[in-house]
Structure 1
Amino acid sequence: MIDLNNFMRELESSSPAPGGGSAAALVGAVSASLGLMVSRLTEGKKGYEDQQEEIRRITNEMIEVKELLMAGIEEDTASFNGIGAARKLPKSNDEEKRIRKEAMDRAMRDAIRSPWKIAMNCQRAMRLNSRLLKIGNRNASSDAAAGLIMAKAAADSALLNVRINLKYMNNNSYSEEQLLKIKLFSEDCETILRDSLSLFNRLMDPEGEA
């Protein structure tokens, strides 16, 4: 279990890790926790009888997402530290240079996979919070919307780490493939956010949806 005060002290220190990826994972986990609050405020609630089966499913999936994002806090730091370890490998001859280059490539790919995993779990939190906004306890609709916004920000932040690591990859085809993937993923997240906030605004309209 992460100690929040210790994490914040490490985050604000001059050490490059933990950094933006780990912070994104934490914010994503907070988003999932908000969603869990909404689902639990809906469980067994009068007027939501028809939604109970789906609410239980959402609760179970949101728990999984939260746990994955909490694990991502330390995983992202470890992946960054892997790059540092690879950079310290000797390079005094061709064989050492080859070994170092291969280690750097593996470390960079790990450092790209880690924030991608965070971003994808944040998108899952977005989708679940979006669904809760539609079927969950209306009195907690602002919490579902807040969780959704946090998850979107966390996903965007994680993808910034993907992009900066791609900058150091000596593989143009891989980088181009990843950048296209980021573009499509981001567009999907934007659509979820836009549609969900449109619903929230209708719910807040005194003459809108009940």
Structure 2
Amino acid sequence: MRAPYLYDALVSRQTYPRDRFDGVSAASGRVGAHRAENPRMRAGLVLFWAAIATVVLLVAGIFASMVYTGRIDLTPQTAPSYSDTPEVPAVRDTSYSILVLNGTGNPAASTDAVARLEAAGWTADKVIAGAASTTSFATTTVYYSSDADLGAAKGLADLLNAGSIVQSNAYTGASGTPSPGATSANTKQLTIVLGADYQLGTATPAP
């Protein structure tokens, strides 16, 4: 049997379909088309990348949830600074003149405040009572003009249960002179405006 026929006989035994390259003579040096195996991704590699993707999505979801619920703050606040200035203690200083202004509409309020001040050590010439510009003042307030008066203002507020202490020159003249009723320009003065929260009470004796 000649070689071409032998080749044809061998080719006819292949399991894949014949094509035009299978009829090429063996003398030409060609034996047919090259059939490469279809590339396939390995199963282990697929599982590896799937696991990585799952972990990334899980971490991203947890992070987003913590940001949404406020457990992670992406804009942290600057820590507040605290002053080392010592707290000014309250003192009961009877050298101050006290101007009592009644903003309650009840005349008994100013009478009660004056009695409590005199019982606490103030002399009658140091306590001046008058009416406030309004009869609907809400919160009993002590007013002081300078930082040096803060301790005495706290002491007065404690004595008459004032709900507020305010630094202001509202009851002092432009040159620093006390309000009408003070005995001299050098007199130290505090002003208390009695408000609706003022409680009539028993006079507190001097310590």
Give me the TM-score of the superposition, normalised by structure 1: 0.16
Does 1 or 2 have the higher relative contact order (CA < 8 Å, sep 6+)? 1
The structure where strand makes up a greater share of residues is 2
Query: Larger C-alpha radius of gyration, 1 or 2?
Result: 2
